[in-house]
Amino acid sequence: MTGITAWVEQATWPAVIAATARLAESVTDPDIALVYAADDDARAVAGGSVRGLLGRRRNDDRVHAATQAAAEVVLADALATLARPAAVRVVHGRPERAVLAALDGMDWLVLARDGDLTRLGPHSLGPHTRFVLDHAPCDVVLVWPDSAPGIDTAPPPPPPGAP
Amino acid sequence: MTSGLLATGASAALLAGLLAFAALRPRDLPEAVFAVPAAVVVVATGMLPLGAAEDEMRRVAPAVAFLAAILMLSRLCDVLGLFRAAGRAMAVGGGDPRRLLTRVVVAAAVVTAVLSLDATVVLLTPVVFATATRLGVRARPHAYACTHIANAGSLLLPVSNLTNLLAVAASGITFVRFGLLMALPWLAVIAVELVALRVRFATDLSVGTRRPAPPDDAPVPVFAVAVLALTLAGFVVASLVHVEPAWVAAAGVALLAWQAVRDGRTTPAAIARDADVPFLLFVPALAIVVAALVHHGLGDAIGRIAPQGHGLVALALWCLLATLLANTLNNLPAMLVLLPVAAPAGVGALLATVIGVNVGPNLTYTGSLATLLWRRVLREHDHDAPLAEFTGVGALATPAALVAAIVALWAGLQVFGGGA
């Protein structure tokens, strides 16, 4: 059995699912898990501003429902697009730690670049993605969310003699 | 002198306990459960003379009455579908997160200005989350936008923030004049916040979708929008004829309640619950406890460090003082502490103080350091926002926003005149 984890996120999941399907074709007996890291941080930010009102009124139920709906929509769409049996899982807490914990015993991780793709370079990986990439206990497939950039987008080489 | 020190210590301890209780809400009890007995103790022990306590209650009563009306008004707008329609308007144009961010900022600024920051925090924020989900983009930058603009966008009108209402009540500045002088600072802080959010969340904002939003046929609640427009016009007229804005807001509530109850969307009992009576009791109680502390030393201390003069530097110092105090205590007690000194110092000083207490809390995650620390110490929350991230966004946006707002206020005072 070959364990494959696909880290699906808003906006970038179609590319991840496409790569996961291709990978599943090429390995024996793929065992696929789709992992979504819930945006607890954003929810906590919204909760914090309620605290700023010194206790008058709250909104956490509705924000909680919205973040939960976000997870369900992404996972359902991703599962339907994959058209293969797969386990789905929502993880909570710090996204980079939670995703890393979900990789225990896996053979492959498929994830997408999620950084600033208008300026390629170090920032084309978001901080959470960077952490998972650095510490993944398995092989990693890193895909472009859109089409890959042309070879001519790389910056020119440093001039001769530069440090 | 010993009894004076004792009173200072006792009133400070009561205020600290009151704020801790409000921040933590043990067993979900209303904050008035601590605040009202604390106010009774303050008066019964003579820390604040009864007459002074009555003055305090008279001073905050119009603001409290208005708060009750605006809480009901915004909730009725929600019941009638206004915020859902706002969500649909934000989703037009699809899943480009940068465009969505601009729309969220504009929506939050307008909702905050007209219906107060509570409406943005409690009613608009969940809609923004739902809209981001519908468009398939990340909610985080937009969640920050709501949080920041709820504070920063509450500068424009007296009705936008409870602190503004207190300032207006203490100074007698008219609705129109407040709006004229605060229009430039309001625009300036919103522009600065938008740029800061774009820079800080460049990563999240660069990943969009081309998927069109699923159709949502939420109709625009024309009646609610018309009533809101009339209410807003009513605030202007009421200010000119010296009628409390609470009456105008109450008239708006009556009109919307009539429609909402007739259509079976809510009940009179539910509307009354939205007035949040425990919180309405909390505000005068807080004012009395703060007044005791001001009476026993804090007023003199603030008076000694209060900036002098009416120039740009004096405005900036008032704003700095207000920012520091708001981040320490929370904006409402900070305003109550500063009002007795800032209001007599002139319109410029007062509005600079308003800018500090309203925009300044964006530096800390929960509106004040006190709340944040209490929550950290007792760990009663399940998940806190990443402190470094929040502080990073606040530290990037807030000082620039404050400077821009103070310069804009100063410019407005030159144009419209600084006299009361």
Q: What is the CATH number of the domain that holds A79?
A: 3.40.50.620
Split into its structural domains, chain A has a count of 1
Flag whether A160 is in a domain.
no
Query: How many percent of chain B have pLDDT more than 90?
Result: 45
Whether the Cβ atoms of residue B205 and residue B101 lie closer than 8 Å to each other? yes
Tell me which of B64, B74, B96, B129 to substitute to probe the interface with A (most A C-beta atoms closer than 10 Å): B129
* Neighbour tally for B318: CB within 10 Å: 27
Cα within 13 Å of Cα(B20), Cβ side:
12
Determine, for residues A50 and B122 on separate chains, whether the beta-carbon distance falls below 8 Å: yes
Cross-chain Cβ contact A59/B123 below 8 Å: yes
Residue A163 lies in a domain: no
pLDDT over 80 at A48, yes or no: no
pLDDT in tens, B237-276: 998 888 888 999 999 999 999 999 999 999 999 888 888 8
- Supply the pLDDT for residue B80: 94
* Residue B128 placed within a domain: no
Interface residue B138 vs chain A (CB under 8 A): yes
Q: How many domains does chain B have?
A: 1
Q: How confident is the model at residue A56 (pLDDT cuts 50, 70, 90)?
A: low
Q: What residues of chain B lie within 8 A of the CB of A12, using their CB?
A: 207
Structure tokens at B247: 């009456």
Q: CB–CB of A137/A40 below 8 Å? A: no
- Give the range of the structural domain holding residue B25, as residue numbers without chain letter: 1-47+280-295
Quote the domain boundaries for residue A39.
2-153
Question: Taking a C-beta distance cutoff of 8 angstroms, is the pair B166, B291 a contact?
Answer: no
| Residues in B touching A51 (Cβ below 8 Å) | 23, 366-367, 371, 375
Provide the sign of the torsion angle of the four alpha carbons B13, B62, B175, B157, taken in this order: positive
Nearest Cα residue to B142 out of B219, B86, B78: B86
CB-based contact A92:A98 (threshold 8 Å):
yes
CA-CA-CA-CA torsion for B230, B232, B235, B237, nearest 10 degrees?
Answer: -50
Q: What is the chain A residue with the closest CA to B138?
A: A10
Q: Is residue B263 assigned to a domain?
A: no
Dig out the tokens for B213 from the structure.
């939003």
Within a domain: A106: yes
Residue B16: inside a domain: yes
| A132 domain-assigned | yes
A28 touches chain B (CB under 8 A): no
* Distance between CA atoms of residues A116 and A95, nearest Å: 19
Which residues 36-75 of chain A have a CB within 8 Å of chain B?
A: 39-59, 62-63, 65-67, 69-70, 73-74
Residue A108 is assigned to a structural domain of this protein: yes
Q: Is residue B10 part of a domain?
A: yes
**Rounded CA gap, B182 and B188, in Å?**
10
- Asked if residue B379 is part of any domain, the answer here is no
Q: What is the pLDDT of residue B5?
A: 84
Q: How many helices (H) and strands (E) does chain B have?
A: 21, 0
Q: Nearest to residue B130, comparing CAs of B104, B102, B111, B168? A: B104
More confident position, B212 or B318 = B318
**What is chain B's mean pLDDT, rounded?**
87
> Where is B68: in which H helix or E strand?
helix B50-79
A24: in domain: yes
**Which pLDDT does position A33 carry in this prediction?**
95
Residue type, B381: H
In a domain? residue A110: yes
- Give the pLDDT band of residue B383 (cuts 50, 70, 90): low
In a domain, A131, yes or no: yes
Burial B245-254 (b: 16+ CB within 10 A, else e): bbebbbbbbe
Residue B35: inside a domain, yes or no?
A: yes
Among B322, B285, B289, B300, which Cα is nearest to B409's?
A: B322
Question: What mean pLDDT do residues B24-37 have?
Answer: 83
